[in-house]
Amino acid sequence: MTQLFVLLTMSAPAPGGARQVTIARTFVVAAGATRTEVYMWARSQCPPEFANGNVLFFSVEPNVLPVIEAVAGQ
């Protein structure tokens, strides 16, 4: 199991202009999961009025920061 951090920003038409939504979620996937599966899950987290919206930004990466060891003497 791997925990991912997912960001998705979408835009959809609205009266007089457009509306946008951004979701930021963590999501646990099993080994072998695909980016497509994560993308589809992220879209399902948006409000229904964005079902046919345009994706402006999508990012998925492990939700773990790399360990940076201090250099001796610093």
What backbone torsions phi and psi does residue 66 show, to the nearest 5 degrees? -70, 150
What one-character-per-residue DSSP string does 7-45 give? EEEEEEEETTEEEEEEEEEEEEE-TT--HHHHHHHHHHT
With a cut of 90, say whether residue 74 has pLDDT above it: no
For a pLDDT cut of 90, what percent of the chain falls above it? 81
Residue 44: the pLDDT is 95
Under 8 Å between Cβ of 46 and 8 = yes
Q: CB count, 10 Å around CB of 6?
A: 19
Output the pLDDT for position 72: 65
The stretch 31-49 carries a mean pLDDT of: 94
Residue-wise pLDDT tens digits, 1-27: 899 999 999 999 999 999 999 999 998
pTM metric for this prediction: 0.82
